[in-house]
Amino acid sequence: MGAMAKEKMLVSMALALLITVHVGTSTSTAAHQATQHEEEEEEEADRIVALPGQPKVSFQQFSGYVTVNEVAGRALFYWLTESADQPLSKPLVLWLNGGPGCSSVAYGASEEIGPFRINGTSSGLYLNKFAWNTDANLLFLETPAGVGFSYTNKSSDLMDTGDRRTAEDSLQFLIRWMERFPRYKNRELFITGESYAGHYVPQLARAILKYNANSKHPINLKGFMVGNAVTDNYYDNLGTVTYWWSHAMISDKTYHQLINTCDFRRQKNSNECESLYVYAMDQEFGNIDQYNIYAPPCNHSDGSFGPSRQTMCLPHQPHKKFRQLSGYDPCTEKYAEVYYNRPDVQKAFHANTTRISYKWTACSEVLNRNWNDTDVSVLPLYRELMAAGLRIWVFSGDVDSVVPVTASRYALAQLNLKTKVPWYPWYVKKQVGGWTEIYEGLTFATVRGAGHEVPLYKPRVALQLFRSFLQGKPLPKS
């Protein structure tokens, strides 16, 4: 072959290669653009234009469903309220409520840290001036399936759920939700929650770390914070009974009987122990709100009190409106149940699209009664997650008698952590907000005068707590 022919052949090969590369690149670009367009359409379909009775706001909101298990048809409902100020520079904060079986939309979003509160007639919303979306993008998740608007097409799921599936489904939700909202893929993520979310939060954190170990696109988890958190069966139970006695809610006799009769390590109480609990609550507590022992309870219209805790272990029961005192209304979740069952609200929310056969409720009694898988203690998870370098804060409203401060202190003491900054009072507007101690790997803080839902009772103080946590800075000493 002559030199000219060789040259022509090389030029032809080069051109062919260029065409192939160009076609391949074009195909790849087209596929990428198609995916991007699909993501944008999905996101836009989830946009909330405005909720009924909502005041005008400058931040974006999205809500809808993410399928987490195609076979069973399990789909979880979420509500994202972005930060009004520079949302792209703010972290993503996932909030979970406990129960088990209670809704983050009902509690976290609507009466604790979300941007709106529901008015007393359930006709509309008003702004929460201590909302946490000033400092972060807030993602409220109703988990597991069966909570709130989240659903499953496999009815047996509701009779057989627990910690493990909740963590698995919540992880799948995050992975798939970030596909829908790619701008959050590398964003700093913090997980927060309260009560039985004392299980959900560290369990999900561990699931994320396991996922990250084998993923090309790890989730940027930075830490978690839990309040009045269920932590360890034995120490939670011991701490609760001790709290009742130390706050004069029960007699010396009943206290000693409970301590000597009940095996606090057991999942199910003996009949003798159960009868002591019933006696304490029915005969000695009196008509109080166990979730804030110094606040007025929410009574039925006939003057009777709602179901006591031994009949149903849920963080709240909807009761008839009683009265308001100092801005705190013990019947707030009742407003949520009316508001979120309104067809116009569900439409604006992109919720209940499959026409679920039951009404939206703040808590699911079915899930709560059929919770079949629970960790006896999450303290081993704390050790694992501290070793992974996560920022971990535990806080406790100190007038909650359901998961009281004594329970949290007894449980955390088992970790035998080295003290970095000894116990001191922390302040908000020159008033003691609570007390705190900083350990190697964990910060503990109390919130003075707050009940089970800390941001409901002490919104300004809770916002300071949240800001300090996000910044990784000690709580203010003055």
- Would residue 452 show up in a list of annotated catalytic residues for this protein? yes
Catalytic residue (one of 199, 319, 350, 452): 452
Q: How many other CB atoms are there within 10 angstroms of residue 141's CB atom?
A: 31
Q: How far apart are CA 193 and CA 205, in angstroms?
A: 12
Nearest 5°: the CA angle 300, 302, 303 is: 70
> How many CB atoms within 10 Å of residue 328?
15
Q: Which amino acid is at 167?
A: A
- Catalytic residue, chosen from 195, 364, 396, 468, is 195
Burial code (b: 16+ CB inside 10 Å, e: under 16) for 37-67 equals: eeeeeebeebebeebbbbeebebebbbbbbe
| CA–centroid distance for 74 within its chain | 19
Question: Which of the residues 199, 400, 408, 468 is marked catalytic?
Answer: 400
d(CA 321, CA 317): 12
Using the structure block, give the residue that is written with the tokens 């009196």: 286
Residue with structure tokens 């970095």? 420
Quote the CA–CA distance of 206 and 385 in Å, as a whole number: 7
Q: Is 400 labeled as catalytic in the residue annotation?
A: yes
Strands 61-69 and 74-81: antiparallel
Residues belonging to the active site: 195, 400, 452
